[in-house]
Structure 1
């Protein structure tokens, strides 16, 4: 074996390990937060809280996650992925543990809101995807992003029934403590992701500082449209994750169907994310995103227009699962196409902040409008309108490198 072939072989061996451990991190970081809706009724009943109060805590969580995500990306780009994910795991675990013992609205908002939100930001799958983007070739990125996103969905698929079972058997407080302990596995899995963005000069391309990369992104029309459109994804996902279980219970159905629906969404999204990664690597990402958002609008319209039965709930969950995080591979892929992988964690972080602003409004407005009207109808119809708007916004996005990179190519 020649000396020149050794690095290539080492790289081939390391990438599968990196992908496997990154998928484990994505699974664990997405799991507990995707099960927050299961704690809605037991916690509000135990403390006499309104739905708006609990919804506001989860809305704060989503906003804190989004606000911190660009800084988590900067930390990962500057100091490495392992350090960032380890910090996130400790914050996440602390938030879950404190949430179990929250007695007041302030304590709930600090634990379930701020701490878990920061924890998710610094341990989220977006950092994992950035690590994947550095490790694999450009041709492999879309599929790698799909695999990473699917792993987050596997977390939802596993933690929804796990949370439901644990809440019924040991209680909601003990379940939160158990979730807190599980999060401490993240630092060990993250060891394989150790590393940071290393700049390799490209002939004919001027070197960039981080501030210059951010300024360039916000001067790019397609990046701004992508950021605006991702707001809608957050609105849909967060509202359904938190409010679908109580909505199903309000319809007079057994609460188990809420947990089952969340689990099915996670299971279907495994397939949806992998399919999305495959399609995004071969066809137009902007057009594909437009079709995803239009599909969501159609699915919601049908769901709220037909009589509610276990079949319609499961059918809706399956369809939404296919469209759930299937937006992430093409969205993150477009960021990589436009600007390259060097500052991807940071630039995708800003796109993701828009997602989390949408999440904040989806969760909070769901609780507020329900308390004011006694119904979720208004928020469902708002979600339909936003889905159509997102389909329109994504269509004119240009899938090509910025001029600085295009000139060099």
Structure 2
């Protein structure tokens, strides 16, 4: 493969690593912010829920802009939004600043710097026969941020406090600015007669895609992905503390997720070379749901928690390269960023509901017991939705 493609993969992985790694730390701040700044846990819980919803709403827009104008510019702008979103509650730890910063600004920031624009750029540059594998490789590299930033945030909270730690994490977003120059700083050259739809044509593109039964079912299944993972990211550390587990076990679990997602994402992307992506996605949702059921209905132990985190980590971001591969097989890669963004909106609606419902349940019931059956049921629906999808009549390059 050309060196330029390897550089693109490395840059995309670095941007994803920082953007997703920081948001994976939000759950660590739930109880420390309550103790340090007297912020009720529901404030940060609802802010993270809003973050997920804003991310989903913004992803089709930022994806369409990246398709038409180049991913690098979108990613650079997102880094500044992300910085502002973390700096605001660090400087002013009051409810409205947390909701505006974490909820709105970081939601826009991660939609620009996260998986959408960067992985679509790889999808356009990669040879068709290796597209899923290389997207999975970039996703795997992106997991390094979670593995590194979760323990860093845990230690920072202990050293300098929760609000100062948010400011330090915000400053790490500045590292994305030079990275962005390696990711399609200019729009990719179009093939004769083929141009990206762009922002103006996004509503029509979304309607046309959702009229495709396979794409609609793929989008439905992606809802479960966001629902399950947002709840675990936000509430697993608190759940473990409520169960009497050591305070640092939540950070260890999230770090384990990141470590095991490195080989898992690459392998899931590679699977798309030998198996229909929709079938592989169904298996991913099945593994997740079984793991959640076993974890929820057995007595929690440190070893069991780490094993659960390892299993979940192996399939944590595996749905992303497979979903991109499934969309590219149906519609090609010209509008891949926008079409992934439309599908991803469903993912983030699920993330909003998972994070918000968990926060409200903690506030009013004091535990998460009623949530686990819902997690399992939603996962079962995703399995069925993906396994009934028929292959496209003609797979596109």
User: TM-score if structure 1 supplies the norm length?
Assistant: 0.92
Paired residue for 1:327? 319
Equivalent position to 2:236, from 236, 240, 244? 244
3-state SS of the aligned residue for 2:300?
coil
1:161-202 deviation line (CA, Å, top 9, x unaligned): 111111112222222111111111111011111232433147
Alpha-carbon distance, 1:208 to partner: 7.7
Distance of aligned partners of 1:372 and 1:209 in 2 relative to their CA distance in 1, 3 Å threshold:
same
Q: Distance in 2 between matches of 1:156 and 1:103?
A: 24
Distance of aligned partners of 1:64 and 1:209 in 2 relative to their CA distance in 1, 3 Å threshold:
closer
User: TM-score if structure 2 supplies the norm length?
Assistant: 0.95
Equivalent position to 2:213, from 213, 218, 221? 221
Counterpart check, 1:134 vs 2:128: no
Paired residue for 1:376? 368
Q: Does structure 1 retain, via aligned residues, the 8 Å contact 2:196–2:335?
A: no
Counterpart check, 1:76 vs 2:66: yes
Counterpart check, 1:41 vs 2:31: yes
- Count of matched residue pairs: 392
Paired residue for 2:181? 191
Equivalent position to 1:302, from 291, 294, 312? 294
Distance of aligned partners of 1:129 and 1:399 in 2 relative to their CA distance in 1, 3 Å threshold:
farther
Equivalent position to 1:262, from 254, 271, 276? 254
**Which structure 2 residues correspond to residues 110-129 of structure 1 after superposition, within 5 A?**
110-129=100-119
Paired residue for 2:191? 200
Q: Does structure 2 retain, via aligned residues, the 8 Å contact 1:337–1:401?
A: no
Q: Does structure 2 retain, via aligned residues, the 8 Å contact 1:99–1:111?
A: yes
Counterpart check, 1:253 vs 2:239: no
Q: Does structure 2 retain, via aligned residues, the 8 Å contact 1:285–1:399?
A: no
Alpha-carbon distance, 1:330 to partner: 0.8
Paired residue for 2:285? 293
Counterpart check, 1:400 vs 2:392: yes
Counterpart check, 1:231 vs 2:223: yes
Q: Distance in 2 between matches of 1:79 and 1:226?
A: 27
Runs of 4+ in 1 over 4 A off after TM superposition: 206-210
Equivalent position to 2:5, from 15, 19, 22? 15
Q: Does structure 2 retain, via aligned residues, the 8 Å contact 1:337–1:399?
A: no
CA RMSD of aligned residues (A): 1.7
Structure 1, unpaired ranges of 5+: 1-10
**Which structure 2 residues correspond to residues 135-214 of structure 1 after superposition, within 5 A?**
135-193=125-183, 194-201=185-192, 209=197, 211=201, 212-214=204-206
3-state SS of the aligned residue for 1:122?
helix
Q: Does structure 2 retain, via aligned residues, the 8 Å contact 1:198–1:342?
A: no
Structure 2, unpaired ranges of 5+: none
Q: Does structure 2 retain, via aligned residues, the 8 Å contact 1:21–1:192?
A: yes
3-state SS of the aligned residue for 1:192?
coil
